[in-house]
Structure 1
Amino acid sequence: MAAIVGGVFTLRVDTETVSRTRWSPSPASECMAWLKLTATSGRHPVFGDPGSLARASLGHRDVALLVDLLPQDGDTYLPDLLTPQPGAGTRRRDLIDEQIARIEATTQEDLESQLFTYTQTHWSRPLSTGSRRLAESGRLQRRLANGLAQFWRVAMSDGWPELSSIIDQDISHRAKSVVGHGVGRALGELHPDIGWAGDVITLVKPWDGELDIAGRELVLVPSVLSWPDVIVQVDVPGEVVVYYPARRIGTGRDHKPGVVAQVIGSARAALLADLETARSTTELARRTGYTAGTVSYHLKALHRAGLVSKFRDGHYVLYQQTPQAVILLHGTRN
């Protein structure tokens, strides 16, 4: 386990919890992670800019309601109702529809607990008047469900098959670990910030806390767009979800940009894939057909993101993939 900075959140488990542990994708959580970056004009540390289609969707009135419930100004709490626990036995292609339906079916009691009580505890700002009025009227659930459906269609659905493939690779790896070494071994290998000690799961967080989840189901969700964060979701009664960075963020050894191109742009993905060998700006321009100025612009962005290193060799400055970029393109090899 990594050195602890800040606090530790502890989940106390028993044999029933371990026996009921399962892995699942969560399209809703990927969608909300991308929406947060879009709404804050942010750039993912690996995947970059969400793009113009995602930004255009912010003008939809129900997407705007989702944005209103995003954490701001350093706050971290996102109402759990927006990322429902993926259902057991649901077909993969139906997961997003199930999660959207669950948002719409959120009970008024759960809605008010999360929006009126938990935001007051965890946010540094009050809930907006508009969201409060819609919540009190009982109409907010449907509007939020429609907002997620809209953002999914515009900004996520086309890229989901490749994102899902990355997540499925992680789940397949965990399944093999469970078969070969047991659930405990798989839990202990999820992420450096997640520890396993037989009867407790520990998560390195900025705060301390403890929750007894004995007898309850634990759902583990590999995440791509929330990378590199580890997130725990426990505010819906009876539900415990832990999100961790997916093991593979890339499409294999064939260097196809795939999902990387969708999230950082085809030009940067192509340049990054061509930097397994150190190359100069001039050489990259010749190999890719881009102008030297365009190559230089993209290389600066990749360097800021920690995906390429640069060093001088005589009269030339050479660029090459960093270990972080290798993981992005190829996945870890263990």
Structure 2
Amino acid sequence: MIRIEVSPADLLACRFAISPLMETMHAQWVLSGRLDAGTHRAWADRWRPRYRELHRRHPGLRVVSALGGWPGIYTPDFIAPPPAGVRMSFETQLAAARATPLKRARTEIERVLAELPPMPPDVLEILRGPDVVELVTDALRVLWEEIVADRWEKIAAILERDVIQRAGLLAAYGWAAALDDLGPRVRWRVDDGRGHIELEVSGKEGRHRLDGRGLLFLPTAFCRQLGAYLDDARPYALVYPARGVAAATPSRAAGALARLIGRTRARILAELAVPATTTQLAAMLGLVVGTVGEHIAALRAAGLISGVRTGRSVLYRRTPLGDALAEADGRASPDPLSP
């Protein structure tokens, strides 16, 4: 059990971020088969031949595959360090990873090698070589450019709507509300008036204090397990599965609801099982914002959805009537990254 002690100041210091570099690493685990593709199966099947070609050409991908994604085993932080800012580009994050001192990278590598079965000699040679950081970052850059960037707009939309939802819960209702639906492996506890977060990470133990630094929340679209960055030299971060990755959609292309209100409006209603903005829906559905706006207006006029302004955007969610119609039409788990 990992225990993270927090103070009232930590709640104000918490922040949410989206990490394109971390998502690229997680995508690699899915494409390599380290993680079950789940709802990303169609996407993984489409891109796996290209990934295998890149895997042959770039030895750094063999390193990422060998070191990461093992259940309950530490993944070296230098591969995808937690972002220092809320909105960092892939290039900025990659530069930060590339700046990792070789001594630090080797320490992290040896830590994970001590927990894994012996590596193939060619992989071990790369891991203990002088160019390991450069090879890993070069490989992730190629994976981003060749595969992940193609769907980043849709991935980012999924993550951003989770951030809006969960940040609102944290600000309005505190730790318990923000952590409540992350699964049984994370809990909010209060003992003697002091709050702390409990994480179950495959037998790992330890006590940590945020000491006013707050916690960085990092949603992920690819990984369905909780993870944490708990190195004092970097921001403390909680990695968690984003809500809505496998949002319900009409179970049949020509389902009853689709025949009643149209396929696009039925899909929008299904996606709004998790609140979203017009821009996020457009990115996820591959439509222009104006078209989505027209459908939103129709669904809102029919009383199926409602909207609330958050900053410069309007966040839409289903009404009880919308919930009833969507749930009556049946549920399925589509590939959220499919074209």
Q: Is the 8 A contact 1:75 1:123 kept in 2?
A: no
Q: Look up the match of 2:159.
A: 167
Compared with structure 1, are the counterparts of its residues 277 and 79 closer, same or farther at alpha carbon in structure 2 (3 Å cutoff)? farther
Identical aligned residues as a percent: 16
2:208 to 208, 212, 225: 212
- Normalization by structure 1: what TM-score? 0.66
Q: Look up the match of 1:115.
A: 109
Q: Look up the match of 1:274.
A: 253
**Amino acid corresponding to residue 158 of structure 1 in structure 2:** D
Q: Is the 8 A contact 2:82 2:234 kept in 1?
A: no
- Normalization by structure 2: what TM-score? 0.65
Compared with structure 1, are the counterparts of its residues 225 and 276 closer, same or farther at alpha carbon in structure 2 (3 Å cutoff)? farther
**Amino acid corresponding to residue 15 of structure 1 in structure 2:** P
Shift of 1:239: 2.9
Give the paired residue count: 256
2:333 to 317, 325, 331: 325
Secondary structure in 2 matching 1:111: helix
Mapped to 2, the partners of 1:114 and 1:41 lie a distance apart of 20
Mapped to 2, the partners of 1:89 and 1:241 lie a distance apart of 12
Matching of residue 149 in structure 1 with residue 141 in structure 2: yes
Deviations 1:115-143 (A, max 9, x none): 12x113322335x5555555555322111
Deviations 1:163-197 (A, max 9, x none): 10010000011122234323553234444432112
Compared with structure 1, are the counterparts of its residues 131 and 218 closer, same or farther at alpha carbon in structure 2 (3 Å cutoff)? farther
Mapped to 2, the partners of 1:218 and 1:38 lie a distance apart of 30
Q: Is the 8 A contact 1:231 1:242 kept in 2?
A: yes
Mapped to 2, the partners of 1:65 and 1:20 lie a distance apart of 35
5+ long unaligned stretches in structure 2? 258-327
1:221 to 218, 221, 242: 218
Q: Is the 8 A contact 1:111 1:135 kept in 2?
A: no
Secondary structure in 1 matching 2:40: coil
Q: Look up the match of 1:64.
A: 62
Mapped to 2, the partners of 1:104 and 1:193 lie a distance apart of 32
Compared with structure 1, are the counterparts of its residues 40 and 184 closer, same or farther at alpha carbon in structure 2 (3 Å cutoff)? closer
Runs of 4+ in 1 over 4 A off after TM superposition: 128-137, 250-253, 275-278, 320-324
User: 1:30-41, aligned counterparts within 5 Å?
Assistant: 30-40=23-33
Deviations 1:195-216 (A, max 9, x none): 1124211123321412212314
Mapped to 2, the partners of 1:182 and 1:106 lie a distance apart of 35
Q: CA RMSD in A?
A: 3.1
Compared with structure 1, are the counterparts of its residues 237 and 273 closer, same or farther at alpha carbon in structure 2 (3 Å cutoff)? farther
Compared with structure 1, are the counterparts of its residues 201 and 277 closer, same or farther at alpha carbon in structure 2 (3 Å cutoff)? farther
